[in-house]
Amino acid sequence: MKRTLSLDAYLIGEAGGSELLHAVAAAVRSLVAAAGPIAERIARGALGGDLARVRSQGLSGGGDEQKELDVLAHGACVKSLREAPVAYVLSEEQELPLTLDAAAPLAVAIDPLDGSSNINANVSIGTLFSILPALSGVEPATHSFLQTGSVQLAAGFIVYGPQVSLALSLGAGTSLFVMDPHSGQFIQIAHKLRLPARTAEFAINASNQRHWDASIRAYVDDCIRGDSGPRGQNFNMRWVGSMVADAWRILMRGGVYLYPGDQREGYAHGRLRLIYEANPIAMLMEQAGGAATDGVQRILERKPQTLHQHTPLVFGSADEVARVGRYGTEPGHDAERSPLFRTRGLLRA
């Protein structure tokens, strides 16, 4: 008989005898409880009103345009987190952290709605979360979120797509769950998942190619050359425009995602936010045997300086993430290239 493990049973097992992990489990349950109604609203599409309607320009904490669904998802997550032992919530939708119960042990950072440009496009979007230990002392709310990602107690994301699904790690591997549409319960579909170290699939917004630095152009150029280039193999390119969807695909079959810094105004450090986007993805990837860097440094070692700071982000299959790093750090990024290709890059400046 097929083994089915509910999210609830999984959380109880992972928490074991740890009071802190039981608190983490309660926070995860709260976020998942918010996901049901959010998924329902998304599934109704235009029948439920215009979820992509712009509510305000540049007023979210992250500085992005705020859409109807961003606001709705933020409200649903915060409301639900009030039921959990959470001291502070940092949301992409608000400049400063909210205090829920200062005596509680957890700080939760969320991007309530990732992939906002895909609202109304009937394409997967999602909610990202990072659960940290709350700190006491001076300005505890802000300081709780300015910790390195390596101290995360749990991380995950929910995808609202053809399946409503959850990727989750409490620090002992990464598990995947799918919501059973009949019962509304999340059921485990992969336990202690392992990402293939190598891949032939990359994800990047290639329309930014002219803004990239030479190392990213060289890397993508070499992938595109396929089996007649220095890599000696063909590559496939995928870009959903919702990081959660690209990340889910990478967890399922490997691959590499890149959002580097580039020369556009405001993109020097890429587009993704360190605390509530890069950190949870990095924990999930590493816990699945993958990797996540800013091109050079492990994301989980980076100490955030500000609440909504951006970071370049490369994640996925470990060998490929390391290779992207070598293009950036080794002189002339020639290490990966045969002499034949050193001077003939089609896309080279």
- CB nearer ligand F6P, residue 63 or residue 184: 63
The residue assigned the tokens 């919530």 is 89
Q: Which is nearer to ligand F6P, 106 or 272 (CB)?
A: 272
**Residue 20, phi-psi category: left (phi > 0), alpha (psi -120 to 50), beta (remainder):** alpha
Residues forming a β-bridge with 129: 110, 156
Check binding of 115 to ligand F6P (CB under 6 A). Answer: yes
Helical segments of the chain, H only = 7-15, 19-44, 68-81, 140-145, 214-224, 243-253, 279-287, 318-329
Q: Does 243 bind ligand F6P (CB under 6 A)?
A: yes
- The span from the CA of 193 to the CA of 286, in Å, is 11
153 forms part of the interface with ligand F6P (CB under 6 A) = no
Stretch that binds ligand F6P, among 44-52, 166-174, 235-243, 328-336 (CB under 6 A): 235-243
Residue selected from 14, 68, 70, 114 as contacting ligand F6P according to rule CB under 6 A: 114
How many residues of this chain bind ligand F6P (CB under 6 A)? 9
Write the single-letter amino acid at 25: A
The pair of structure tokens assigned to 331 is 């002189």
193 vs 168, 201, 280, 288, CA distance in Å? 11, 19, 16, 5
| Options 41, 271, 302, 337; binder of ligand F6P; rule CB under 6 A | 271
For the CA atoms of 217, 223, 226, 232, the dihedral, rounded to the nearest 10 degrees, stands at 110
By beta-carbon proximity to ligand F6P, the closer residue of 84 and 272 is 272
Least distance to ligand F6P, CB of residue 38, Å: 16
Q: Is 263 in the site for ligand F6P (CB under 6 A)?
A: no
70 counts as binding ligand F6P under rule CB under 6 A? no
* Neighbouring residues of 16: CB distance < 8 A, sequence distance ≥ 6: none
| Site map 182..221 versus ligand F6P, x via CB under 6 A | -----------------------x----------------
Burial of residue 190 (number of CB atoms within 10 Å: 0-12, 13-18, 19+): middle
249 counts as binding ligand F6P under rule CB under 6 A:
no
Site string for ligand F6P, 74-113 (x = CB under 6 A): ----------------------------------------
**280 near ligand F6P (CB under 6 A):** no
Give contact residues for ligand F6P (rule: CB under 6 A): 114-115, 117, 205, 241-243, 271-272
